[in-house]
Amino acid sequence: MGLACALVCLLSAVLLPSPVDAAVVGPPLASGVSTAGDSWLIIPMGDLSNRSNTFWQLFHAAPGSSHWSLVTPPGVADNGGLVAGPSAGSVLAGILPSNLLRFSPLSQSSDGGTSWSPTFFPTGLAPLPDALAYREAAPGGALAVTAGGARALVARGDLSSWSTLVSVSVLRRVSPGCGVSSLDAVAILPTGAPLVATGCRRGGQVGLFTRTAAPWEEGGPVLQGSLRGAATEVLRLAVTGSTTTVLVWAGRGGHRGLVALWRTGDGRWTESPALAASPGTTVLSTAVGANGALAVLMGAARGRRSAFDVDAGGAWSPLPQPPSRTMALAMPAGPATLDSVPVDAFTVDGGSLGVYALTPSGATWVRVQSSQIPLAYGSSG
């Protein structure tokens, strides 16, 4: 792994430019996402207090399976983080810049991560759970948000050539009332059209933009309820079938919280009640289910943590207190509990991974998997 990483870093220095938006950035949130065909989890492991000894891992579970398999693309140091864009039967994964790695190597898999094929990407990816979107059959086969959140790129066909799709400056002109702050996420609609999510500085606007044949159009709703008029940031963006799911982090004055949004086709947006966040509380992990459900892990970095989930069109519900050392949540495709869709919790202690599932009543957690992940401490110093 060390030799492969050294060769990649050398090639990047010799062959690739180092644009401003390829600067090394902070890690992404731990995140999970499920499609009708696969479930994926990205989680940090190792010594989490030392970035050089933190190793981001990608796990995969087949529908209905209670077992998560390690499928991290090999050959490149992943201390900076991972992002993944799943599609029906395949996934595109990218390594974030860190240390001497100044761009984001991409890999594509069509067999649940058992084997990977490297592909070209000209710069660094943003540390965002949905910085990549991938759909083999779409006219724009892949979309990506670059590091710094100023541009989104598009690749067609075999992903060998990338070009600019849109920039912050363009979308600011499309929606002056939003006050676009950065590009937050990308997705591909069933029509193949791109969907780009942005932060908005004002007005409670949720920044969602799409384009068919002509100019970019604004399509995001304005938040109602207790966070009306807030500044917004899109944490998750997913398109499953005809349903678009959005998770928004919003703040106004001393009030902060999460709002979930859903839309089927071109219909009206459905907005969940706000999940209020107390002072000092942050979002630690997010998960999107195949049916548009969402789960979040909240709390202080080293303090008590709380988990919540929400079904499409519903209200937030508290989950049982997560197990100690819980770092991430996922919503695997499978049979529902009595109260909600399945939710898995993942604990990390160095290289030890624990997987906990809710009991059928949804009242308590039970350990269903223990894995020891080999980590090359000191290899990225």
Please check whether residue 138 lies inside any domain of the structure.
yes
Maximum Cα interatomic distance, the chain, rounded to a whole number of Å = 57
Identity of the residue numbered 327: M
Phi, psi angle pair for 27, to nearest 5°: -75, 160
Q: What distance in Å separates the CA atoms of residue 200 and residue 189, rounded to the nearest whole number?
A: 22
The reply to whether 307 falls in a domain is: yes
Helix and strand numbers, DSSP H then E, in the chain: 2, 29
Average confidence (pLDDT) over 125-148: 87
**pLDDT (0 to 100) of residue 336:** 53
Buried-state track 70-81, b at ≥16 Cβ within 10 A, e below 16: ebbbebbbbbbb
pLDDT of residue 2: 40
Q: Evaluate whether residue 377 is within a structural domain.
A: no
278 CB neighbour count, 10 Å cutoff: 11
Backbone region of residue 365 per phi and psi (left: phi > 0; alpha: psi in -120 to 50; beta: other values): beta
In-domain check, residue 160: yes
Q: Is the pLDDT of residue 17 over 60?
A: no
Q: What share of the chain is helix, strand, coil (3-state, %, to 5)?
A: 10, 45, 50
Cα–chain center distance at 172: 24
Domain that holds residue 53: 2-372
Assess whether pLDDT exceeds 60 at residue 381: no
Structure-token match 């009543």, residue found: 361
Other beta carbons within 10 angstroms of residue 269's beta carbon come to 18
At 14 the pLDDT is 35
**Is residue 381 assigned to a domain?**
no
Are the C-beta atoms of 104 and 159 separated by less than 8 Å? no
Query: What SS3 state is found at 86?
Result: strand
pLDDT band at 177 (very low <50, low <70, confident <90, very high): very high
For residue 62, give both structure tokens.
Answer: 């087949």
Whether 378 maps to a domain, the answer reads no
> What is the model's pLDDT at position 18?
35
Q: What is the pLDDT of residue 304?
A: 82
Indicate the number of domains in the chain.
1
CATH of the domain at 23: 2.130.10.10
Residue 8's pLDDT band (boundaries 50, 70, 90)?
A: very low
Mean local confidence (pLDDT), 241-266: 93
Phi, psi (deg, nearest 5) at residue 212: -100, -95
Residue 51 lies in a domain: yes
How far apart, in whole angstroms, are the C-alpha atoms of residue 181 and residue 60?
33
In a domain, 379, yes or no: no
Name the pTM for this structure: 0.90
Q: Are strands 54-61 and 39-46 parallel, antiparallel or unpaired?
A: antiparallel
User: Tokens 């079938």 appear where?
Assistant: 241
Average pLDDT over residues 271-290: 93
